[in-house]
Amino acid sequence: MSIRKLHRLSACVLAAFILLHLGNHLAAIAGAAAHIAFMEAIRPLYRHAAVEPVLLACVLFQCGSGTWMVLRNWKKRAVLPAWLQAGTGIYLALFLLLHVGAVLFGRAALGLDTNFYYAAAGFALMPYAWFFAPYYFLAVFALFAHLGCAAYWQVQARSPLVRRLAIGVPAGAGLVFAVLIDLALAGKFHALDIPAKYLTIYQ
The string of pLDDT tens digits covering residues 102-149 is: 999 999 999 999 999 999 999 998 899 999 999 999 999 999 999 888
- Comparing 163 with 195, which gets the higher pLDDT? 195
- On whether the pTM is more than 0.75, the answer is yes
Residues 6+ apart with CB under 8 A from 178: 136, 137, 138, 139, 140, 141
Q: Which residue has the higher pLDDT, 151 or 90?
A: 90
Summarize the confidence of residues 29-52 as an average pLDDT: 93
How high is the pLDDT of residue 157?
64
Residue 195, by phi and psi: left (phi above 0), alpha (psi -120 to 50) or beta? beta
- Number of structural domains in the chain: 1
Q: What is the pLDDT of residue 23?
A: 92
User: 183 vs 19, 87, 143, 170, 178, CA distance in Å?
Assistant: 19, 25, 18, 20, 9
Mean pLDDT, the chain, integer:
89
- Give me the domain span that covers residue 176: 3-202
The 10s digit of each residue's pLDDT in 148-183 is: 888 777 777 677 777 788 888 889 999 999 999 999
Q: Please state, in angstroms and rounded to a whole number, the distance separating the CA atoms of residues 19 and 88.
A: 18
- Which long-range contacts (C-beta less than 8 Å, at least 24 apart) are formed by 114-119? 115/35, 115/36, 115/39, 116/28, 116/32, 116/35, 116/36, 116/39, 116/185, 117/32, 117/192, 117/194, 117/195, 117/198, 118/198, 119/185
Residue 187 in contact with residue 110, Cβ under 8 Å? Answer: no
Q: How confident is the model at residue 194 (pLDDT cuts 50, 70, 90)?
A: very high
DSSP string covering 87-126, please? HHHHHHHHHHHHHHHHHHHHHHTS----SHHHHHHHHHST
pLDDT at 24: 95
Question: Residue 41: its pLDDT value, please?
Answer: 93
76 pLDDT higher than 80: no
pLDDT of residue 122: 92
